[in-house]
């Protein structure tokens, strides 16, 4: 993250995303967690963000049972401890609360709303730089573009873009290895470096919650993209990818 001397180590992704064994009937989901060198300041300053990230991710519908149990254990304890302040920080706007029946007489409350996407992106920018150190053994120098694949959008271009990025990444990562010793909680994949020097990480949490980060090293020279120009100008644009078409504007 910076040029300061590294005199501590921090977990990437944060340790609190990995359930404690007491919430998992003794099973260990904290095997060989990734740590990277960090300066003291960066290590300390991000503990609030780590907590925010934990509450943001663990309770999302569609996670596997490990994410769900983590939510019912450590995450809910943290939320109660802060009198729900933590939960309030996760959503900038709360729209609706739905009560869903999971089984007979078993209900859960689901909050539907607008997440603090800006803060989430900052967290994943941090994680991408950490994973880069772990994977390539070098500090990443450049820009990170975070795409939160697990969000759904009300309508229009963002949702089409979301589907497009997901499909394109699936194609580029096809057959690539996964890294991470607790894959049910977290694993990552990385694409090849393309002709412009760009590459992409996929981070997958709790079996299906995807975040993609496009890595633009300062030495790369990304092309001007004609299609994206058209989209940004509000002109109707159709992009084909495999057998699918994605329509913008
Ligand atoms: Zn630092």
How far is the centre of ligand 1, averaged over its atoms, from the C-alpha of 179 (Å)? 25
Determine the Cα–Cα distance for residues 63 and 174; give it in Å rounded to an integer.
22
How far is the centre of ligand 1, averaged over its atoms, from the C-alpha of 17 (Å)? 21
In 3D space, the residue among 23, 58, 67 whose CA is nearest the CA of residue 184 turns out to be 67
How far is the centre of ligand 1, averaged over its atoms, from the C-alpha of 185 (Å)? 26
Q: Check residue 101 and give its pLDDT.
A: 78
Burial of residue 152 (number of CB atoms within 10 Å: 0-12, 13-18, 19+)? exposed
How far from 150 is each of 33, 137, 165, 206, CA to CA, in Å? Answer: 23, 29, 12, 12
The encoded tokens of residue 240 equal 């084909």
Determine the Cα–Cα distance for residues 2 and 172; give it in Å rounded to an integer.
30
Q: Where are the beta strands (DSSP E) in the chain?
A: 8-11, 35-38, 91-103, 106-115, 142-148, 179-182, 186-190, 199-205, 209-217, 237-241, 244-248
How far is the centre of ligand 1, averaged over its atoms, from the C-alpha of 13 (Å)? 16
Mean pLDDT by 10 residues, the chain (249 residues): 89 95 91 94 87 89 85 89 85 78 78 88 96 95 92 76 86 94 97 91 94 92 77 84 85
How far is the centre of ligand 1, averaged over its atoms, from the C-alpha of 177 (Å)? 30
Task: Look up the pTM and report it.
Answer: 0.88
Q: Check residue 155 and give its pLDDT.
A: 65
């Amino acid at each position: 993250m910076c040029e300061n001397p590294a005199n501590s180590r921090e977990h990437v992704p944060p340790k609190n995303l990995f359930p404690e064994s007491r919430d998992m009937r003794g099973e260990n989901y904290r095997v060989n967690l990734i740590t990277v060198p960090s300066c003291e300041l960066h290590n300390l300053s991000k503990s609030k963000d780590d907590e925010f990230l934990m509450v943001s991710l663990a309770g999302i519908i569609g996670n596997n049972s490990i994410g769900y149990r983590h939510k019912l254990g450590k995450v809910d304890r943290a939320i109660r401890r802060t009198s729900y302040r933590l939960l309030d920080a996760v959503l900038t706007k709360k729209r609706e609360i739905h009560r869903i029946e999971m089984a007979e007489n078993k209900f859960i409350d689901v909050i539907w709303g607008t997440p603090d996407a800006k803060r989430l992106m900052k967290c994943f920018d941090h994680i991408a730089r950490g994973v880069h150190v772990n994977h390539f053994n070098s500090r990443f120098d450049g820009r990170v573009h975070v795409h939160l694949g697990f969000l759904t959008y009300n309508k229009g271009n963002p949702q089409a873009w979301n589907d497009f990025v997901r499909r394109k990444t699936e194609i580029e990562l096809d057959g690539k290895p996964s890294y991470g010793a607790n894959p049910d909680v977290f694993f990552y994949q990385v694409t090849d470096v393309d002709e412009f020097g760009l590459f992409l990480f996929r981070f997958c949490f709790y079996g299906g919650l995807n975040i993609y980060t496009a890595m633009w090293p300062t030495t790369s020279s990304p092309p001007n993209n004609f299609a994206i120009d058209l989209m940004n100008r509000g002109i109707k644009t159709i992009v084909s990818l495999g057998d699918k078409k994605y329509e913008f504007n």
